[in-house]
Chains A and B, each alone.
Chain A
Amino acid sequence: MGEVNFTFSDTIAGYVAAFHRSERSFSLRTSDGREFRLFLTPTTYARKSQNLDEGYIDATGQMGELLSEGVPVYAYCIFYPAEQGFRIEAKSLIFPGDQAGSYRHEESDWWPRQVRSIADSYLRWQFNYPQEPIEYHNYRTFLHLAGGKKGDYLQETDTISRLVYGFASAFLLTGEDRFLEAAEAGTEYLREHMKFYDADDDIIYWYHGIQVSGDREQKLLTSEFGDDYDSIPMYEQIYALAGPTQTYRITGDPRILEDIEKTIELFDKYYKDNRQGGYFSHIDPITLDPRSPMLDKGNNRARKNWNSVGDHAPAYLINLYLATGEKKYADFLEDTFDTIEAHFPDFENSPFVQEKFYEDWRHDTTWGWQQNRAVVGHNLKIAWNLLRMNSLRPKEKYVALAENIARRMPLVGCDLQRGGWYDVVERLREPGESHHRFVWHDRKAWWQQEQAILAYYILYGCLGKPEYLKQAREAAAFYNAHFLDHDDGGVYFNVLANGLPYLMGNERFKGSHSMSGYHSTELGYLSAVYINFLYTGQPMDFHFRPRPRGFRENRLRVAPDLLPAGSIRITAVEIDGKPWTDFDPDGWTVQLPDSERSLRVKVTLTPVCRKGD
């Protein structure tokens, strides 16, 4: 074994333990308490985390003050072999805040501004807005790093739906008309071009997408993705509802609700396993049978997975419940989380949940790329959504599982040296292995950071344990320091373990199947909600545009998420710019006036108390 007697560079994330002014060095304590001595050089430079659409914030001249005890910092260093180990010289520093316990991403308007910027970038990239109108015929699935179109003519249902979700979320936070216009136009486009109404069963399913060629379009009934080829995967049907549902929360357009209801009919009729619980992951495109031998081609016959069982909740079902208050959707959510709690934990064998199943819930450890592997973000997503559900129908088992995951994940899924959360790892360690092995790489994907940020902020907001706040802050600080693309807009897909963007192949794109403004805006929307309402105690405004005779009983439901009862109140409502008093402050509803046109509704929600009060 050769000696490590060469130089290399890497990031250390931590908290300043001491600044040694005379030596031009400082001690940095990592999240898990290990300490490193770092030396400054004449060319070391520093910046503070900046938001999208915000200028560079140089902090080089302030390093002396910023390097004080407890201040969080990311130090990109060069390691020089020395007599005893290494001499570590910091070449650049990023400060997420300017004092101990201060984080820029906890500023009350940080996340709404970020969401606005991301949504504006997609308006510009996809439609050349505002120079040209918002026309989804011009939408393309793939966008280069700088937003340029790649030349494909594919329009994927899910990808449009995800972007629609982003626009709708941007409107909810800002009330700016262009975002609602984009959300409604996208929803209409999905309805006209991507929807298959099955008159035989009175159900709806959604095409995988269309190939656009001039004025002609070819419908793609089955998935074009390798994992799902020649089938109709549940995952795609679920995400087809993400954007329209978020738009429905704003407008109450009954046509959207009808589409959603008929798609849920599809789920109940063909995907649901009424005998053994849960939902199948794929159905045959002709017979709609989840047990069809045709599905053997993709190893998808009679299988269940995280996406088919659990993704209903974050993708559309929670938002549908928030908009309608319907008991049947609360029941559906409860069944979803009871099923997750019953079948996903596998802590006797692995710190990670089991994600793939046969129809009788035996563990499937043979499927495709997943084998016996864990997606770190799925574990965090379960913890996050269990806490949401616990506000709707509290159960001790929801909190217990969420906390069990939350306690285990930092030790096996988080990079405690550099910050950030990993991607896919082996669920089991081989004898002698100290770390779960990375399946492909040790890069960090943007959406997995999202799951950690939301999981730990809501855990802290609901349960108040300081270790969750620490994880939440570290995850959000890493994301905001490394994932924002200040040159071209939007966020990066992946960064290397050290936080530098990874810009090769598919991961260079801004508009791929999974990007498309969904996770980044969901993160922004819900981070604003959790941080302002459950932690820092800041009020927020939300914007709606209910249509005439849209919402049932003319009642607008304005809960921004499933939050603990009594945690927030409506403190003001304006309709068309004038104060309106007919609202239930603790039931989070507004009784709308009769109107023949859409109303502009602004609702101020105020947290009842802040943590620590």
Chain B
Amino acid sequence: MEIQVQAQGSLTVVVLTGEIDGKTAPEVQSRLLPLAENGRKLVLDMQKVTFLSSAGLRVLFLLNRAASSGSGKIFLTGLVPELRDTMSVTGFLKCFQLFDSQEQAVEALR
């Protein structure tokens, strides 16, 4: 699991690469929760995420809650069709704000 964090103005863009599962989810949580809690808008670029387990989904929910407890927000971008389908079928997709790409998100949220 690779996690790249870049500040872009008032946004923080996080590029995630690899699988988010029971093994890697705690690392995602520990790296991103402090960012979500500091009130910034967080764009999670999921284009290179190849697998999202239930533990991964739970991390997304925690991040979303942590961000909204302050003035922050979470946005997902670049979900590959398989992930999008999984999240759609299980009803999770509507819980997050989505953009097709990182560029679109950055442009829209500036």
Q: Please list the residues of chain A having a beta carbon within 8 angstroms of any beta carbon in chain B.
A: 192, 196-201, 211, 217-222, 285-288
Neighbouring B residues of A197 by C-beta, 8 Å: 90
A286 touches B64 (CB 8 A): no
How distant is A82 from chain B, measured CB to nearest CB, in Å?
60
Neighbouring A residues of B26 by C-beta, 8 Å: 286-287
Nearest CB in chain B to that of A215: its residue = B94
Of A197, A218, A221, A286, most buried by chain B (CB within 10 Å of CB) is A286
Partner of A222, one of B22, B62, B91: B62
Jot down 9 A-B pairs with beta carbons below 8 A, ordered by A.
A196-B57, A197-B90, A200-B22, A211-B68, A221-B65, A286-B25, A286-B26, A286-B59, A287-B26
8 closest cross-chain pairs (CB), A and B: A198-B54, A221-B61, A200-B54, A286-B25, A200-B53, A219-B95, A286-B29, A286-B58
Of B55, B65, B95, most buried by chain A (CB within 10 Å of CB) is B65
A199 touches B61 (CB 8 A): no
Nearest CB in chain B to that of A217: its residue = B95
Partner of A286, one of B62, B68, B90, B91: B62
Q: A199-B90, A218-B68, A219-B95 are in contact. Are A285 and B62 (CB under 8 A)?
A: yes
Tell me the B24-83 residues at the A interface (CB within 8 Å).
25-26, 29, 53-55, 57-59, 61-62, 64-65, 68
How far, in whole Å, are A130 and B88 apart by their CA atoms in the complex? 35
Nearest CB in chain A to that of B89: its residue = A199
How distant is A191 from chain B, measured CB to nearest CB, in Å?
10
Neighbouring A residues of B53 by C-beta, 8 Å: 200
Partner of A199, one of B29, B54, B58, B62: B54
Chain B interface, number of residues (Cβ within 8 angstroms): 20
B55 touches A286 (CB 8 A): yes
B55 touches A222 (CB 8 A): no
A218 touches B90 (CB 8 A): no
| Other A-B pairs, 9, CB within 8 Å; known A285-B62, A287-B26 | A196-B54, A199-B54, A200-B53, A201-B54, A218-B68, A219-B64, A220-B65, A221-B61, A222-B65
Nearest CB in chain B to that of A288: its residue = B55
Neighbouring B residues of A192 by C-beta, 8 Å: 91
Interface string of B89-109 (1 = CB under 8 A from A): 011000100000000000000
How far, in whole Å, are A406 and B100 apart by their CA atoms in the complex? 64
A200 touches B55 (CB 8 A): yes
Neighbouring A residues of B59 by C-beta, 8 Å: 286
Q: A201-B54, A218-B68 are in contact. Are A287 and B61 (CB under 8 A)?
A: no
How far, in whole Å, are A220 and B64 apart by their CA atoms in the complex? 9
Of A192, A201, A287, most buried by chain B (CB within 10 Å of CB) is A287
A218 touches B65 (CB 8 A): yes
Nearest CB in chain B to that of A222: its residue = B62
Nearest CB in chain A to that of B53: its residue = A200
How far, in whole Å, are A199 and B56 apart by their CA atoms in the complex? 12
Partner of B61, one of A211, A217, A219: A219
How far, in whole Å, are A192 and B65 apart by their CA atoms in the complex? 20
Neighbouring A residues of B55 by C-beta, 8 Å: 200, 286-288
Neighbouring A residues of B29 by C-beta, 8 Å: 286
Neighbouring B residues of A201 by C-beta, 8 Å: 54
How far, in whole Å, are A287 and B22 apart by their CA atoms in the complex? 6
How far, in whole Å, are A300 and B95 apart by their CA atoms in the complex? 29
Neighbouring B residues of A288 by C-beta, 8 Å: 55
Neighbouring B residues of A222 by C-beta, 8 Å: 62, 65
Neighbouring B residues of A218 by C-beta, 8 Å: 64-65, 68, 95
Nearest CB in chain A to that of B91: its residue = A192
How distant is B28 from chain A, measured CB to nearest CB, in Å?
9
How far, in whole Å, are A219 and B66 apart by their CA atoms in the complex? 12
Partner of B58, one of A211, A217, A221: A221
How distant is A153 from chain B, measured CB to nearest CB, in Å?
12
Neighbouring B residues of A285 by C-beta, 8 Å: 58, 62
How far, in whole Å, are A200 and B58 apart by their CA atoms in the complex? 12
Nearest CB in chain A to that of B21: its residue = A200
How far, in whole Å, are A200 and B22 apart by their CA atoms in the complex? 10
How far, in whole Å, are A196 and B55 apart by their CA atoms in the complex? 11
Neighbouring A residues of B68 by C-beta, 8 Å: 211, 218
How far, in whole Å, are A218 and B26 apart by their CA atoms in the complex? 22
Neighbouring B residues of A286 by C-beta, 8 Å: 25-26, 29, 55, 58-59, 62
How distant is B73 from chain A, measured CB to nearest CB, in Å?
11
Nearest CB in chain A to that of B54: its residue = A198
How far, in whole Å, are A192 and B90 apart by their CA atoms in the complex? 10
Nearest CB in chain B to that of A207: its residue = B61
How distant is B21 from chain A, measured CB to nearest CB, in Å?
8
Of A211, A219, A220, most buried by chain B (CB within 10 Å of CB) is A219
How far, in whole Å, are A285 and B62 apart by their CA atoms in the complex? 8
How far, in whole Å, are A222 and B64 apart by their CA atoms in the complex? 12
How far, in whole Å, are A549 and B70 apart by their CA atoms in the complex? 49
How far, in whole Å, are A221 and B86 apart by their CA atoms in the complex? 19
How far, in whole Å, are A199 and B87 apart by their CA atoms in the complex? 11
How far, in whole Å, are A192 and B25 apart by their CA atoms in the complex? 26
How far, in whole Å, are A423 and B44 apart by their CA atoms in the complex? 48
How far, in whole Å, are A201 and B65 apart by their CA atoms in the complex? 24
Neighbouring B residues of A198 by C-beta, 8 Å: 54
Neighbouring A residues of B65 by C-beta, 8 Å: 218-222
How far, in whole Å, are A404 and B58 apart by their CA atoms in the complex? 45
Interface string of B3-29 (1 = CB under 8 A from A): 000000000000000000110011001
Neighbouring A residues of B90 by C-beta, 8 Å: 197, 199
Neighbouring B residues of A200 by C-beta, 8 Å: 21-22, 53-55
How distant is B9 from chain A, measured CB to nearest CB, in Å?
25
